[in-house]
Structure 1
């Protein structure tokens, strides 16, 4: 998801920053983003304190919790308090 999405955005003249789960001070980078595309592969990895107020957050992740429920890479409950728009999992992307 990361590289193809970055290329699509670059072709539309967007400024793109690509991070991984191991990026130093990841939250600083995510808080700078107007559009945050999460495709980490870890349930509820992105939390509300990592999101810029009003940002568009696109959760591409699909994970299964220990109790069998589907969830994304974004902690929906905390991020919905901050984001201007947030895709749900399941049912979003």
Structure 2
């Protein structure tokens, strides 16, 4: 059974086995991680440029699915190049180096 001990402004909790730990306050510790930022990517298809807002930790496959609505091409028929290399659909944008306002 956990006992709570108050010291100053911090609350401490006595765990089974005698370990004294700082009390948690609900789910605020888990929710404190900020979601990954949304980035804007400029994609050229033919002579037309499309600007796409996408999660920075998305994959190129997710980008292809968004582009299929804009270009009319099925996502499996698309080839996406970044830094002069064709990128695999399973590769992550942030790991490859895609940043906000990348082309």
Q: What range is the shorter-chain TM-score in?
A: under 0.3
Per the normalisation by structure 2, the TM-score is 0.23
